[in-house]
Amino acid sequence: MALKARMSTAIEPSAKRLSHKLLSFQVKVVDKYVPDRVLLFTVNVLDKRIPPKVISSVVDGIGERLPHKVRSSVITAADEYVPDAVANSRKVCAVLAGLGKYIPNKIIPSQSADKWDAVKLKFHIPTLVTSRRVPDARNA
């Protein structure tokens, strides 16, 4: 058991360093070579062409089929392993915010709520306000 713990602590810094280098390189490529129009098109396709029912059924399906442990790991990785260069990229944050706004808090594991809030703050992910019909007080 002690050997496993030592191996884990030895691997973690190198994995973090590798992810920082790889993601920083990808951000530089996106910032330099991907035009704004392509990113705007992808976000607009999601917002304007895909019906909200499809988006919510996909998100609910992910929430039902993906175990809490996996969702927690993804949120932890986004919080700890993603370098600040990604968070400082206007283009990458725009795409992540465009996708992240559809993730409801109900599929976030309770033990990862703090890290999810940190990820939302880091990547400027807004909270999507759903357009549900509110009963009119005059008719009640």
Condensed to tens digits (0 to 9), the pLDDT of residues 48-79 reads: 998 989 988 998 898 899 999 999 988 888 88
Phi, psi of 42 (to 5 degrees): -65, -40
Please write the tens of the pLDDT for every residue from 39-55.
Answer: 888 888 888 998 989 98
Q: Is residue 129 in a domain?
A: no
Taking a C-beta distance cutoff of 8 angstroms, is the pair 125, 119 a contact? yes
24 found inside a domain:
yes
CA gap 7, 87 in Å, rounded: 30
4 has pLDDT over 60:
no
Q: What is the pLDDT of residue 19?
A: 76
Q: Is residue 50 part of a domain?
A: yes
Q: Is residue 47 part of a domain?
A: yes
Which structural domain range is residue 88 located in?
Answer: 15-122
Task: Give the pair of three-digit tokens for residue 106.
Answer: 């109900």
CB 96 within 8 A of CB 125: yes
Q: Is residue 71 part of a domain?
A: yes
pTM of the model: 0.71
**Is 7 within a domain?**
no
Q: Is 66 part of any domain?
A: yes
